[in-house]
Structure formats: C-alpha cells, structure tokens
Structure 1
Amino acid sequence: MDQPMIFLMMLSILLSFSSASVVDFCVADLNYPVGPAGFPCKNPATLTSNDFVFSGFSVAGNTSNSIFKSAITKANHHTFPALNGLGISISRLDLAVGGIAPLHTHRADEMVLVIEGTIISGFIASDNTAYYKTMNKGDIMILPQSLLHFQINIGDIPAVLFVSLNSPSPGFQFLPLSLGSNNLPSEIIEKTTLLDPQQVKKLKNVFRGTN
C-alpha cells in the first residue's frame, strides 16, 4: 500500500474518533449533586432553545432589604444550567444610592461593566497596593482572581453593573459577613484582625454569628 493511501486511512480513522468524541455543551442536570467537574449533563434529546437563554436580568434586584443597599442576581450553573462546564458566568449587581458591594473575593477573574450610574471600583493587590477608579456608564474594570475588591455607588441615581467571571461557579466570600456570621470565638477574631471587642460584637450581632 502506498504512502498517500496509508495517510488517507489514518486521517479517516482520526476524524472518526474526533467526531465521535465532540461534546458541544453539557447543560447541567440539577437532579444530581455537583462534583469538581460540575454537574452531570442532561440528555441532549430533551433540550430546547429555552435551555440556552437566561432572562433573570430584566428586573432590578431588591436593594431595600440589604444592610449594604445592594443586590446581586447570579447567572451561574445553578441558576443557568447551560453554563455548566463552560468556564463562565455573569451577574447583575444593583447598588442603591450610597450602596456598596463590600470587600469580597472569589475564585475567578472578574470584569465589571457599568450600565448605569457612577461608582468607585477597586481592588487590593497581594503587595497591598490599592487600585481604584471612579467609573461611569460604559466603563469596564478588571479585578484579578482571589484579590479583595469592592464597589461603591457615589452617584445620585441607582447604579447597575454587569459582572462577568471566568468560572460557572466563582463563589463569593464577603469580608464583613465572613467575620460576623461564623462560630469562631470573638477573642480569636479580635486577635487575628486587631478589631476592638465592640466592633466584633457589632459584626456578630448584625450577621448573627455565635461565640
């Protein structure tokens, strides 16, 4: 058998393996527990176009019931199963006048797009350098993975932001909430943060922590 024929046979075999293993998407089946690689896939035969559309951003979040005067609406693989395994997610952040997204972190890089309003957005790098900027409608800021960051509405109208992240489940850990809602003894928090006992007590009361 000549070399061109051998090459064509090998190419045919490779293409057959390739086409058999292609998976375009894996819409999450929320009836099963999530694992490190995400949720199991729904049967593609049961999917419709509706599975690939999320309509949760058309209504503003309720900022009146938050101590921070803010609300976040998340499109992640729990609320938008089509994101399962794709490495992306997006959220809508509503900030009332004076509202804040307090110092927080998550396991993903973030890109913030201001849709309405005027905010200050920033982060603290691992060398403790602070990078922050006043942002207006249409501005975008990058917030690197795992670094503490924040947003504050400094304008006179509610602010709306779209926040995209390179993870279908980025996780959010808000610093004040983490300090105040846990069951660590207050003395340990005081020693590890240098906060006064009164400040720790206030955080515990606000966020219903114990000990």
Structure 2
Amino acid sequence: MKTESNVITGGANMARRSFLRYAGASAATVAVLGAASCKKDRAVGGGTDVGSGDIGILNLAYALEQLEAAFYIQVVATPYSGMSSVELSYFTDIRDHEVIHRDFFKTALGTSAIKSLTPDFSSITFGDRKAVLTAAKTFEDLGVRAYNSVGYLIQDVNYLLVAGKIVSVEARHAATISNLLSSGSFVADDQVDANGLNKTISVAEVLSAANSYLSTKITANSF
C-alpha cells in the first residue's frame, strides 16, 4: 500500500504529466486559464471567498476537489475493517483522480487560486465501512450536483469543456460509491429525477454541505 506522502507526491506528478491527456484539454486551454488568473482570493469574515465570474466557479470546483482528495487520501491510508481488495482498488483509483483534479485547478488558476483548505473529518469514523461509504456518497453526489448547478454560469467555452469532462468522471465515482453502499443504487432517484436528469442544488446548499467538512470555511458572495 502506498503511504500518504507517496500518494500526494505521486498524484502531483501525475497531474503535471497527464491531466491534459485525461481531460482531453489542449495546452491552449490551460494558457487561457492561466491568463485569466489575476488576483488572489479574499478573506471574508475569517473564511475564504471564491471570487466572481468564471474564476469564482473554478475556485468553487477547486475547493470541492481539495475536500475530496483529502478524504480519499485518508481512506486509502487507513482502510476500514474488512475492506476488500476490489474496494481498495476502487478507492485508490478515485483518490488518484481527485488528486489530479485538485492539482490541475491549483495550477490552472495560478495566483487566482484560493488557498489550501483544511478539512475537518472528525465526524467520520474511518474504521467503519458504512460511515466511509456514506461520507463518500455525500462528497461525490455533492460534486456532481455542484458542477451541474453552476455549469450554465460558465462563460468561457474552454472552462466549460474541462468542467464537463471532470463532472463526467465525478458521476462515475458517484455511481460506483452508491452501488457499493447499496447494490443496484447507481441510478437511484435521490440523485436522478423522473426525466433521467441529475438533480441540482443551489450554491448556498453546496457551501453548507462543503463547510460542514472544512475547518477553513468558504464563501461565494458573488453567486
């Protein structure tokens, strides 16, 4: 099993080498992202505001990816009792994806990236399978809903392209986790509506859910 430090280092290297291949984005896309990076995040009432416009949306995604990466790093580093080899392989793959996503947003946003956030997983019992899978489902469902909820606000087609490719991966994660928690639940009606569309939530609901697992709180005052 890989150590946490190896996971972080390996994931960062993989992000630098391979994200464009995974996402299918061109070097020009990253250049556009970097060119739009012009200011640092703002501290608001002891928290961190994601900013406005496309950069604000990307920072919100970056915050969620930070949270997910930290969670799966912990899950793989401290497997719950009775975790099967198949489950470990799933969690390892998901961890690697989330680290790639996190590091991509950090690099692409440049000086406009919000700071590294401090997670608070004190409410999660990592030694218990159901607790871990329930938390994983919360994070994955939140990620998919968040991307779908703010996608229509994205103005730059390059950003929209990357966001669409990432949310499709997050949806695969969500289906896998849901099915581990309850067999056959990968298209359950708690996430997919009667029209076959993934449900969405408001930005306020995204922030409320994310902040319950963050010591460093985030705000989105422009949305």
Q: Specify which structure has the bigger relative contact order, considering alpha-carbon pairs within 8 angstroms and separated by 6 or more residues.
A: 2
TM range (shorter): under 0.3
TM-score normalized with structure 2 length: 0.20
Higher Cα Rg, which structure: 1
